[in-house]
Copies of this chain bind each other. A is one copy, B any other.
Amino acid sequence: MAKKDRMTGVLSPVVTPFGKDYAPDAARFVRHCKWLLANGCSGLAVFGTNSEANSMSVAEKTNLLEALVAGGVPAATLMPGTGHCALSDSIEMTRLAVKLGCAGVLMLPPFYYKGVSDEGLYRNFAEVIERVGDERLQLYLYHIPPVAQVPISLALIERLLKKYPGQVAGVKDSSGEWANTKAMLDAFAKDGFDVFAGSEVFLLDNMRHGGKGCITATGNVNPGPIDNVYRKWRSAQADTLQAGITATRKIVQKQPMIAALKAIIAHFGNDPQWKTVRPPLVELTREQEAVLIPELKAAGFAMPGLAG
């Protein structure tokens, strides 16, 4: 894939709907993915942190990914998470993503052992790239130290990019530290390494410094206004538009993020089943919902067309 075809814009780490028995609900998943693409997302980072991806088996994720493509979601919009603790799982999911024609994959480092060396992490990513052995693979590294606890260092990126310049495509930086995102941009953007901010709070800054967009939790519920910042980042209104999406983000993130996103979709989509999260997560309490929903309404928040 030529670099010009790479993903840009606003990607949503799509939340995964579950039934009352915690089984993944492919029909609701396809429906939500289509709503996101119709309402501002240029891509879908399914199986991310906000997707409860690590709370699902490889078989469950395989079924969901195949259901998306079979259900008419273009593979060119997909950047599934394929990084697992087990090298064999990472290879299996990455192979599937490439086979289905996904635009890229977003790879967590193996995250069980802590304090591992860059050499060990290099071997992990290199082994996946070599075993998949397909030029079409576009690998985005997923740096999220607050959760994974295992970071992707600049030195590791440099080494991987040097060895696999055609396949190491970029990064999602969920460190929450703009200084780190900026360091990635300064070091590697000129080499065609695409940096996505891990939150829309940094979207405008990221665009102004050579980044390619953002992959953000709240992309699940507020894709239109976030996409508007992406499209108008060079305009005079950019800072004002950015302030608007940052304000919405701040309302949502007062609550536990994943449960909050699902509660919002359940409310504005009039579909209570969406509230279900898999253990170890728990849904919002009534009290948390009673804060979240009115605050969003007071801010003029809407999810056009979601309730069908």
Contacts and interface: CB of A to CB of B under 8 A. Distances in A.
A121 B279 CA distance: 7
A112 B110 contact: no
B149 A110 contact: no
Contacts of A55: 85-87, 110, 112
A119 B120 CA distance: 35
Contact of A280 (B54, B59, B109): B109
A17 to B, nearest CB: 15
B147 A280 contact: no
A150 to B, nearest CB: 8
A106 to B, nearest CB: 15
A147 B54 CA distance: 17
Given A55-B112, A57-B58, A147-B113, A120 B282 contact: yes
A120 B87 CA distance: 27
A85 B53 CA distance: 9
A116 interface: yes
5 contacts: A54-B113, A56-B88, A112-B148, A114-B146, A121-B279
Interface of A: 22, 49, 54-60, 85-89, 92, 109-114, 116-117, 119-121, 123-124, 127, 146-150, 278-282
